[in-house]
Structure 1
Amino acid sequence: MEPPRHRKHTYPLPPALRSSTESGDRTAQYHEKSGWIYGRSKNTLERIQDDRYQKNRETNIHWPFQSRAEWRLGKFLAENLTQAQINTFLKLDWLDGQKPSFTSACQLLDWMDTLPSGPGWQVMQLEVDGYDTGKKIDLIYRDGLEVVESLFGNPIFAQNMTFDPLRIQRNGEEEYGEWFTAQEATRIQDTLPDGATLVPVIAASDKTPITRYMGGLEMHPLFLTIANIDADVRMKATAHAWRCVAFVPVVKFEVHSDYQTILQSRLWHKCVDIVTEKLKRATNCGEFMADPFGDVRCCYTPLVAWTADLPEQQLIATKPWDLNAFQKLAKANHLLGVHLPFWRDWKNSDVCCFLVPEILHTVHKLFFDHVLKWCKEVVGSDELDTHYKVHHKHVGVRHFAAGVSHVSQMTGREYRDIQRTIVPMIAGAAPSTMVRPVHALIDFFYLAQRPLHTESSIRSMEASLSEFHSTKHAIITASGRSGKENFNIPKLELLLSFADAIRRSGSLIQYSADVSERLLITHCKTPFARTNKQPNFAEQIVRLLDREERMRLLDVYLLLHEYNEPLVNAASDEEDLLCSADPTSAWVSHVAPGEQYHFNSPRPTRNIFTDGISSSGATAALSVTITPDRTKLRIVDIGDIYMLPDFTTRLEEYILQCTGGSTSHSIFQSFNEIMVWHKFCIQRYSVSRPSTIMPSQVVQAQPPSTSFPLGNCDAVLLNVDGQSQHNPDHVAQVRVVFRMTRSHRSQEPPPPFLAQPLLYVQPFHIIATPESQLDTCLWMLERVYSPSLRPTSACHVGFILPLTEVCHSADLVPAFGKEVDRTVTLATSQEVYQRFYLNYYTNKEAFDTLYEYRSVQI
């Protein structure tokens, strides 16, 4: 091999160092003795060519299929139909003129089995000496090291990988995001030989029933990925950054029930031991692997994180015991009594470190099981349901039309949707002393989910948790929780470990079980549903899983040959690639947009910044559809259609202001028609990670209709001058989105201030700041009325400004008070109520919104 060389400058930058719009001093320092290169080899996709059928593919790349079309047909049939259905399809009369070269389902599946393959699946039968299970114990697995090597060398992830620990300093503070920026990365690298490359292993598992067709079969699917792949990619289940490596069986031993759990736990650890045996060997001695660029590195594979719920964590975190005395000691100490845990000989893998806090089951489940229950007890289930029913509905945000207490079990997404509005929903209906600890805990939840942390943000998170504990007695006082129950909640105690876990392992959102919960369906229940209850179902699963792996690899392999543009050469600096949640989809859209529908991948985020309208200050991008929702309206008609009697007057004021006081009569003669849109989109960069573009948000401005008699309009934050006489407080409701157009007789080009979309908005006045409201820490707003008229919907103060003055969408929650007026509905609440909370929790990316709204100078 060549002598070792240092890191190439062509490798992609880690997420923390990519292009950023963020201001502030930021420095980065790589580890001095990591990442040497020892030669050249083939990456994962290049290695799949080295099988015994490669000569057949030299003349026909689609072999054994005759053409690309026949391969697509075969893939579709194998993925979607049973063997009987495939045979029926092949016998259809309309196929007589163009029958494929395979004549039966058996032949098609045999052909699929000759395709290039990745790490192979296998079955191992296990026995537990001295104990009978009644059924054979089949471990379905593949070698963990082969899977890790396949991931590490996969060019699909070439532009989304990090190879070296680095320390980020932002404004003098340590920054923690990806695992490679955390303390454990530097600590482990320091223990390795000079030039070693870390390939940190992240695992996930969860006990799940395979109920369909399998007679109540249960197992523990085991998944692996590597921390080298960016967290944004790993967090998408359809990006294929996670690989299933084992189906650990759950068997019932024919023993006394007191020993059932002990034996099942021992069996689980034994199975994981088999799967990870070579990974542990590589951690001790190192293993030469090729990265996506074909550079050979000496790699070490410590276990750095394990995503699991609390019962699964208890299964993993058992304590070794002497074989002869473990039963009595284990029972006395509430331990499982496993004497050979799988991690006992895994170097640099500490169970206290790799069992990271898990957001889905610890944070969101804690909210649903306890915090929401406290709110229901204090406010009343019916009253709280009514608050959610009449709350204004936003596009893209879950609305609870039936309330929040109608079901006993929800999904993680529903937990998060309720959290976003729980504080303003209970404000006024619950005692302020009880709202304060709830608000403090919700703040902690949101801060804990940030993708980037500094010591300041960690201190803020700890301060929120401390505030909760110092004020939580008010929940008992308000009868939200029985005094006998106290607060001895295991999940609540786990929150104390979050700060140290962030410093050790990076942001916790990257270890959320949302991904593994999705993988349980796509990689476990769905494949097993395609088998039957025959005794050899394990062999069926092995063949099925191998076949799916072959088909997925071949799709990318064929595109590589057809378009002759390697994945590793994809332009990593292009915004459309950076914004994509899936690197495969990004590359396919780059070289072959017409092929995207063949790949199961997340929908890429539309980048409005490339073709939209930039807001003033370029902090946001705005977009309206090419075709307006309504065209050729007269100016005088807007007041009647939108119930805005002062629209014409405000438009004249806007024109006079833009022309420096000149008359607006000639402009009205030339531009006497208006185009109207009912919505526009706004998009921003992530506040926590400025190189990431967030999904766009829709802002509605619909006129009164049968469904919404007072209109359906959203609120925004504005970027206008703080001294403006119209809107000193920067928060307004959008009533009309429009643009003036010239009449048929006029050939005069529009002046610049009329050439862009305009908004008619109605402002809100801030009557209370977060500092003055210790219970909610929210801004309280009030509608602005004409001083000479009584407060009715017809006399709201309004004004006109360019669309570019919008900087953020906003969610307003009415100040419902002690009890909601039962005549108010979803369609009228935004107009009937006069006071609102500016809710900084509502956003698809909650951690961004909390950070940003508190930093905005409103």
Structure 2
Amino acid sequence: LQEDQYDYRRKINTYYPFHDEGEWELARFLVENLTQTQIDKFLKLKWFHTRPRPSFTSKDQLLDWIDALPSFVPWKVSTMEFTGYKTTYPLQLIWRDALKVVKQLFSDPVFANHITFQPHVVNTGGQREYGDYMSADMAWKIQDHLPVGATQVPIILGSDKTPVTRTTGGLEMHPLFITIGNLDLEVRSKATLRAWRCIAYMPIAKFHVHPDYQGILQARLWHRCVDLVCANLKVAAKDGCFMPDPSRYIHYVFTPLEVDPWDLDKFQKAAKAVHLSGVHMPYWRDWTFACPSVFLTGEVLHTCIKFFADHPLNWIKETVGKPELNARFMVQHKRVGTRHFTKGVTHVNQMTGREHRDIQRTIVASIAGAAPPRFIRSICALIEFIYLSQDPVHSPDSLQLMAQALSDFHSFKDAIVDAEARRGKKGVKDDFFIPKLELLQSFRGMVEKLGTLMQFSADMTERLLITHCKHLFERTNRRSTDFTEQCVRILNRQESMELFNLYALFYSRGASLVNAIRIEDEEVTTVNPALSWISRVLPDETHSVHGPRPVRNHFLKGILSGDALTAFHLTSTPDFNALTPIAIEAKYSLVDFNHALSQFINQLSLSTGEHTRWDHGYGRFCTWNKFRLQLHSAFQPRVIMPSRVIQAYPPSDAFPLGNCDTVLINVTGDDGQSTSRVAQVRLIFQPKIPRASDLVLPMYLSSPLLYVQFFHFVANPSDRPELAMWTVERTYMIDQRGRRCRCGGVVSLTDVTHAVELIPEYGNKVDERISSATSLESYDRFFLNSFADKESYHTFSTEFA
């Protein structure tokens, strides 16, 4: 920026060529949100006849000014030729020098607190941790071959082809993306943080040859293009080069190819057919340290999630039956923040990776009773493997568990064949020749070499295809001849505006352009490097930054548990105010509320020695229909997770028995020992003292309380190895009138430790009279779903075990 030709003018007017900050914001808004036609219409409004006009008078002048802003690495156009082969259109590669893009990423001050320069080993509890690339074996192996003091900048590439029109034979784009392994995994996993950059749009070629040769020529063209784009990266990998880091220190760096995550199964199928790939000059042939067996990694989205959708989910449909499987998903209790399949899971032909993940959450518990135990165990083993493969941090123990899960699947997969669930076009199949399944065998070795596999998931590439292709295409005139060039111009303007906006913001406020390194000792509520930088230096300007916003941190102002590991939040205004005990019993259908509260007060007054004159029978209560519970990550204790809503709604027309979620609570027994129990939250309340009263409540009545109904454990995971879950049952008691009723009690809000999900034990068939509004109230026996989310799975397989 300081080397830009107009830098001397910006010493006088930071926002040159625009008049001031306000005009710059207007210009940026117009370019980001309106088409060129709409910008022209806006500038010709009669509104400007009686008011000052902006300095730019037309959309052409505005775009010229935007194009004159300092930009990232410039784009080029190269014509590719295949001697002897004609194409429908000229082969034009739109690209920019990958090494220059890498230098810009490596030196970007935004990433100053999110970048690593040297390999390292992390040991926790006597176990080595495998996190990002720099903590794995390959980083150390390459470092041993570099000059003393040199820095490696591992290259990560991503590429895929996507249609941008829906018509048959429509337009397609094939971008190539790049990032570096020095950046933190959390930064690289979000498209809005600019850690990934587009470096090329590959030509989409249609050769005038026999169809058998079309694929081979297209593959050769792709490799030749990557060869050109990455040529300088190869030189740097061999000879090294100098780069400044975000703090402006110079490093002598080498650029090994770390990973190129693509659909290995497609490559494998094509190669196996003729025992060759058809590409005689692959782009990695002269890339120092590059070995296809290392950098062509399996990745979670296709190798795990897509594999589940294509195979295990179909096996389940065949074994359980589509109507029954749909019914089991349709009647599951609805939790806030969790996808509910109102119409089942078999009616949609095309689902996203997110939907497939949501199906995995409850599939194991849902099919219990409808499929043979050995069949369920094989499916459970695969889900365990998929969950473990997504851990953000691995250890030798977790890798052993992952390997054991895959081994368990192979031990029980014969049940899938016995159920005739694996089928092909010609009927039942008795083999498991599935390329994706074979790739799972390599996951353990990949983690040890390159670090956690989540850093290479194609989720990011899929998202980038939307932001860098489909969204950009919608802003072009859709001409087939030059729509790619238009996309590049739009992309270049976006990058220029982001860069200029950040520079102008700091420069106009007199802030340093060097992002000071800070010690990461505080809790983390979000990973957004630009937002973190501005919030420290210019806290009043955080609104100007796009991207993920911080998770609301209830640990700062919320209610904390005794060990400060859990935070709770209630709205300042209750849903109901000043209810009497009789009104609560009627509204919430809790016939023993008054008795349960009396027991709670008697027990706590004896154990704490704090007695009260307050008569709860004539008291008034505030009640809430929900509260929020927030925890730290089970994998990374410094990271604060988004809060989860726990519902406790009274009966209504939509929910005739109430809409109440389940939690795990700590209770103290008669022997003084603390144990965990599963309970359903039926009421959230707090005593209300009149303002004129001088009555002071004891501590145990001064904070929010819960009325809950208990469950008790009837089986542990070893009793039902096919599910690997705890089984719970509702606890009943005989009341004073001799009636059998649910066992309830009052506990403190801070006794809650986790939100949990219960899946009913449906048996052979789901009762047709039950719906999602009544399923949690209609069954008595449930499975404690350990696959509710990855955090829950880790907790139940470690702490709760």
Task: Report the TM-score when normalising by structure 1.
Answer: 0.89
1:169 Cα deviation after fit: 2.3
Please point out which of 439, 445, 453 is paired with 1:508. Answer: 453
> Could you tell me how far apart the structure 2 residues matched to 1:624 and 1:419 are?
31
Cα 1:71–1:183 change in 2 (3 A) is: same
Please state if 1:154 is matched with 2:108.
yes
> Could you tell me how far apart the structure 1 residues matched to 2:444 and 2:613 are?
65
> Could you tell me how far apart the structure 1 residues matched to 2:169 and 2:598 are?
74
Q: Name the residue aligned to 2:559.
A: 613
Contact preservation (8 Å) 1:313, 1:355: no
1:283-682 to structure 2, matched below 5 A, reads: 283-310=237-264, 313=267, 332-333=274-275, 335-482=276-423, 483-532=428-477, 533=479, 535-563=481-509, 564-566=511-513, 568-569=515-516, 571=518, 573=520, 575=522, 578-592=524-538, 595-660=541-606, 666-668=613-615, 672-682=619-629
1:310 Cα deviation after fit: 3.0
1:572 Cα deviation after fit: 5.2
Q: Name the residue aligned to 2:636.
A: 689
Cα 1:251–1:94 change in 2 (3 A) is: same
Which one is further off, 594-603 or 387-396? 594-603
Which one is further off, 595-604 or 413-422? 595-604
Alignment root-mean-square deviation, CA? 2.3
Contact preservation (8 Å) 2:526, 2:550: yes
1:192 Cα deviation after fit: 0.3
Please point out which of 86, 95, 98 is paired with 1:141. Answer: 95
Which one is further off, 305-314 or 802-811? 305-314
> Could you tell me how far apart the structure 2 residues matched to 1:467 and 1:781 are?
25
Q: Name the residue aligned to 1:268.
A: 222
Which one is further off, 465-474 or 211-220? 211-220
Please point out which of 690, 702, 709 is paired with 1:762. Answer: 709
> Could you tell me how far apart the structure 1 residues matched to 2:467 and 2:596 are?
56
Contact preservation (8 Å) 1:674, 1:740: yes
Q: Deviations over 1:216-255 (max 9, x none)?
A: 2323211101111110111111111111111111201111
Cα 1:572–1:210 change in 2 (3 A) is: farther
Unmatched tracts of structure 2, length 5 or more: none
Please state if 1:180 is matched with 2:134.
yes
Please state if 1:811 is matched with 2:781.
no
> Could you tell me how far apart the structure 1 residues matched to 2:408 and 2:774 are?
36
Unmatched tracts of structure 1, length 5 or more: 1-47, 319-329
Cα 1:504–1:665 change in 2 (3 A) is: closer
Please point out which of 84, 101, 105 is paired with 2:37. Answer: 84
Cα 1:806–1:340 change in 2 (3 A) is: same
Which one is further off, 629-638 or 653-662? 653-662
Q: Name the residue aligned to 1:50.
A: 3
Cα 1:283–1:258 change in 2 (3 A) is: same
SS at match of 1:400: coil
Q: Name the residue aligned to 1:733.
A: 680
Please point out which of 160, 172, 175 is paired with 1:221. Answer: 175
> Could you tell me how far apart the structure 1 residues matched to 2:468 and 2:653 are?
47
Q: Name the residue aligned to 2:164.
A: 210
> Could you tell me how far apart the structure 2 residues matched to 1:772 and 1:288 are?
61
Q: Name the residue aligned to 1:797.
A: 743
Q: Deviations over 1:574-627 (max 9, x none)?
A: 646x32132122333444556444443123222222222222322221111122
Corresponding letter in the other structure for 1:606: R
Q: Deviations over 1:253-272 (max 9, x none)?
A: 11122211111111100100
Cα 1:389–1:71 change in 2 (3 A) is: same
SS at match of 1:730: strand
> Could you tell me how far apart the structure 1 residues matched to 2:688 and 2:42 are?
58
Q: Deviations over 1:433-472 (max 9, x none)?
A: 2111111111111011101111111111111110110111
Q: Name the residue aligned to 2:795.
A: 852
> Could you tell me how far apart the structure 1 residues matched to 2:78 and 2:127 are?
51
Corresponding letter in the other structure for 1:649: H
Cα 1:208–1:275 change in 2 (3 A) is: same
> Could you tell me how far apart the structure 1 residues matched to 2:737 and 2:118 are?
66
SS at match of 2:667: coil
Q: Name the residue aligned to 2:28.
A: 75
1:53 Cα deviation after fit: 0.9
> Could you tell me how far apart the structure 2 residues matched to 1:129 and 1:493 are?
39
Contact preservation (8 Å) 1:212, 1:529: no
Corresponding letter in the other structure for 1:778: M
Corresponding letter in the other structure for 1:446: Y
Corresponding letter in the other structure for 1:855: T
Contact preservation (8 Å) 1:122, 1:542: no
> Could you tell me how far apart the structure 2 residues matched to 1:759 and 1:559 are?
49
1:789 Cα deviation after fit: 8.3
Corresponding letter in the other structure for 1:372: L
1:746-757 to structure 2, matched below 5 A, reads: 746-757=693-704
> Could you tell me how far apart the structure 1 residues matched to 2:700 and 2:610 are?
15
Contact preservation (8 Å) 1:737, 1:758: yes
Corresponding letter in the other structure for 1:61: T
1:77 Cα deviation after fit: 1.1
Corresponding letter in the other structure for 1:362: T
SS at match of 1:345: coil
The number of residue pairs the alignment matches comes to: 793
> Could you tell me how far apart the structure 2 residues matched to 1:332 and 1:372 are?
31
Contact preservation (8 Å) 1:124, 1:138: yes
Cα 1:597–1:307 change in 2 (3 A) is: farther
1:370 Cα deviation after fit: 0.9
Q: Name the residue aligned to 1:164.
A: 118
Contact preservation (8 Å) 1:206, 1:312: no
Q: Percent identity of the aligned residues?
A: 46
SS at match of 1:161: coil
SS at match of 1:628: coil
SS at match of 2:77: strand
SS at match of 1:706: coil
> Could you tell me how far apart the structure 2 residues matched to 1:385 and 1:594 are?
50
Q: Deviations over 1:121-149 (max 9, x none)?
A: 12111111111103111111111011111
1:475 Cα deviation after fit: 1.4
Contact preservation (8 Å) 2:264, 2:296: no
Cα 1:331–1:374 change in 2 (3 A) is: closer
Cα 1:722–1:150 change in 2 (3 A) is: farther
Contact preservation (8 Å) 2:98, 2:199: yes
SS at match of 1:349: coil
Please point out which of 81, 84, 107 is paired with 1:127. Answer: 81
> Could you tell me how far apart the structure 2 residues matched to 1:760 and 1:474 are?
45
Please point out which of 178, 187, 206 is paired with 1:252. Answer: 206
Q: Deviations over 1:321-370 (max 9, x none)?
A: xxxxxxxxx9742x232111110111011111111111001101111111
SS at match of 2:335: coil
